[in-house]
Structure 1
Amino acid sequence: MQLMVNDLLLSKYNPSKLERVVWIDYQNKWCYLVNVNKPSFPYSLEVNDIIHQLETNELEKVVEDPFFISVQVKELTDAERKKRDEAWEIVQDVYLIPDILLPNKRWGLIKNTSKKFNVSGKTIYNHLTRFFARGMIKSALLPDYYRSGNQVEHQYTKKTGRPAIYSSTIKRANVDNEWKKIFRASLEKYYFIRSKPSLKYAYQQMLKDYFSIKDESTDYKVLDVANPIPSYDQFYYWYRKWYKADYIIHKREGRRKYLQNHRAITGSATDDSMGIGLFAIDGTIGDIYLVSSLDRNKVIGRPMIYLTVDIFSRVIVSVYATIENMSGDSLRLALANAFSNKKYFCNTKLDMEIGEQEWPVHYIPHTILADRGSELISDELTSLVEDLNIKIQNTGSYRPELKGVCERFIGILQSHIAPFLEGIVQKDHAKRGGQDYRKKAVLNLKEYSRILVRCALYYNNEHYLSDYPLTQHMIEAKIPPIPIKLFEWGLKSGNGLLRSMSYSQIRSNVLPISQAIVDYKGIYFKGLYYSCRTAIKERWFSNARINGSWKIEVRYDSQDMSEIYIRKNRKDYETCTLIEQYDMYKSARMEELIDLTISKRQQEVDFQESEINGQIRLAQEIEEIVNEAKKEAKLDLGEGIKNIKDIRQNRKEEQELTRQKKSVNIQVINTDVPSSSTVNSASKKIRNIDLFRQKQKEGLNNENH
């Protein structure tokens, strides 16, 4: 049994004692723990003792973290963000492993940090104990303001600030929500542009656009002094309050200069990766054309492949293929795949069985290496990895050798699977007489993903790294240079800082976010309808039919659209499942649903001409029947008036006439070879019916006269 950092251990004899593993020494001998219910500094126990208690069921691992919260940066108040960031700076300064865990060295670190940040030792103690108890991530330092109710900004009715000394024709007022919208719009339009104008210029343009009127005498705009006008100080205050320095530089200087000269680089790459847990991620376009999963006659183009590799062991952490373009959402799904259980992924998403020990890589790394072209440079994903306490290390220009680890797997793909596949990109296809390789495509995305997984399993378990620099300890332990063996040795020796995390936590932090619509049919997302317990209990769908639909945020996995997830609070998510009539799409992927929607719309357009022609023909046929009825009525009635007094009697007579007609028709049909008597009888009945009709008309004419 293997202990990992961040594991939660519950005592069988003391349910209130829930301990978190905060560190394991490099010899895998001592383990440091804290009681999360009584925050304190970590205490040490021998790893073997803890494993023995786990094996004897005196301790058990807890999957769900009671202190885990999921919150987006945009949802935090300024006070929450400020307190979290201040505490994070202090913790980062004092958090030196293993010194912070040793009592004889800990107080020296706290004393130095106390002087540096001018805070008390008790404050540092509170930050550290909270950090240890709540999972050692940045969100652990958030204050619990959300438990105290909503924080409402105070609205002032009287002008705040020092009264003006000198009188002016310009009126001033407090900044309200309408002014804030104008401030933001003006800053985005006139300040955050490549020409880099001054803030004063943006302020002047704002006054011209929103706080001026046209002077009829000069035909120029002048200040509208009849209404309040914001001051430059107010404009400047909200500019400083809203925008941080890195955002300003990014918007005014451009993305490239921001990344080159101003973006923060956390961590530093060294020749020795210091154990497992340093993951490199890269994305590339596959050299193959795929077909649609719904219709193999449709070629859908080349897939995007995301590869994640552990630098220390060279093990393939994950290989994720998608037909979505390179984006933040596709990278989120690739990261979720890297952090999740591979056996579960292969079984549920790819319909293939693998053993747990064939790919036992489902941990959170301490650092992610990415080049400058990666989507990890986006603000959203940078915030994501910070919340998981993962450092980003940019290696684009100064560490090209680390990129070679990812390139090696791409080379294996080309050498091992290219000869077996159809639709592989050929360089000479455009030459005279060459065949178009795209027409040979036969694999869909799921089938191609299975091939990638098989290649990853081969590489991890069978590939011999002849140039791997084995250490003295590895040689003594007779560890072969095979990626999975190196990874397992790194786990056992504690040579790294991998952390475990439940799938619910990974889902809450990593899966992409989108908008769904609640209407009277269900929760509508990507062409499908979902439902959940909360929606049924709170009668969402009835309310939507009465009051109109509304939008909600959902998390989703584009590889499995059978479920989506809505957040109940900062801690819990609720699973929404497909309603019964959409069960056929349980195994569908998002790209398949998009393709199906496009096909349905195209079919509707193709049938549009036929449908309209059918409507026109139906209208003409109805008109013909009505006109024929009018002619018959005119012949029968002449210039007379219709009798509407005896409708019931007329109805009975018509019913009797209909029965007689049916009786005659049945007798004629049931007689295979009609005799002369039968024919005469039928003819007599028909003559009687005609005579009855004639008498009926004569009676009606007499009544009308």
Structure 2
Amino acid sequence: MPLTMRCGRLKTRSSRPSGPGKRLRCRRKPTWGTADPVEPPPIRKPHPRTIQRWYRLWNSFGRDIRLLIPHQHRRGNRKPGLPYVSNATTPYTLMAEAVERYYLHMPSKRKTYAYRQYVKACEAIQLPSASYRRFRRFIERTYTEREEFERRYGRRAAYLKYGIFDRTTPPERPLEEVEIDHCLIDLIATHPLTGRPWLTALLDRATRVILGAHLSFEPPSYACLQRALVHAFWKKDLSSIDGLAHDWPCHVVPEWIFSDNGRELRSRSLRLTEDMLDFGIVYLPVKSPWLKGAVERLFGTIGVQVFSHQEGTLLSRTKDFYDPVARARRSLPEVNRMLVKWIVDDYHMTVHGTLGARPLEKWLELTERYPVRPVPSFDHVIRMTGELVTGSISNVGVHYDGLLYADKRILEELRARRGGLKRAWTLRIDPYDLGEIAILDDETGQWHTLPCTDQDVSRHVSKYQHRVHKLIAKRNLAAGVRITVQHLRKAMALAEDSVRTLFEQGARASSV
């Protein structure tokens, strides 16, 4: 009922007195009631096809009137969009600049940071800014996921994340392709030093057998590389390890060795070994471990199956509740024997998932079908793989790192040749035994052995140990004093006493 009629009724009723001396008052007419009513917009007539579609929907589902209810709540955003003017600064051009400058620029920043910079740019020129949702949708619709990742993290990272890699088939012949690499194992060894040893291994792709391995505290260098090669070329003597049930019959020269670009793998020493033993080195692209994934996977298997259950392991533990250095119990020789036993009796005798056979059985099968090439002379394997150095012949012999090597008959003949006094002769040393060196006779192509004149400070002394002895001797001498053999003997005694004391202290602490 309209308000005016209601007020009229009230006024009519108020004229009737309800009692002696009493008068009824009419309610004041509100001011908002005097405004003209706002007429709703005219309803737009629907198209006949729309009515036809409504009728089919209504008739197909039992003529339920609820099917014709409009779903206004499911309609999208009906707000007006941002203004866009060609050849002018608009919120969209500022959005593109913010995305390019802050979000898709290395070093990468967060999306929220780029959006804040975009809002500031819009406020600076008094333009309306888009919502954060529209900002994100702009990035998603303008760039693909790979383009966004590549702009933020680089082409290589995008290639590794979104690229498709083909799986290669193993070679048909054994030793056709061999992988080599270094690995810092996840175990603390206690003797002769305390720390994490380095493992160098050679793996055959065709049979998955481990051709050779070397474990030591020597960081990646030609010394540990040479020992791993020698172990692969040489016959394995396992008589010192008790409890082995199988043999390790792998002592051959490979055809191709696939490696990374380490300094020791590109050395002149390895190049000369490559020429002398007639095999090739294939250098893989940098930062591409998947190209030698077999040996990388081997290192992971060794870490889990050999070292993860030993005292002193570093896998998935922190010093908050487990100190691997304090809990270490294995010496380096014990770790070495444990590794050899796992290779011979476990790894080589377990069915490999890729091959579908045991690696040792696959090795015996393929080597019988394709004969392999052994080392020509096992007596000269150290000479063929030794570290390459150069030096001159003086009137007393050949000097190397403070040691003297001499053989009067050989050196007199070489020194008497034309230019023999001033030329640099090719020498090869064993990094783990400085007791002798080999000198090359370039006319005949033969290698001659030169023994060290001081065998007590050089025999079975590695290159690293010799430098430690020199450092100890230098610290105990005055500045400018030349280090002699007597000083090296005293330094060796001090080093042996120090190692013995540390080992005894470690043994005493472990027994407690």
Normalised by the length of structure 2, the TM-score is: 0.49
Bigger radius of gyration: 2
| Greater share of residues in helix | 1
Normalised by the length of structure 1, the TM-score is: 0.37
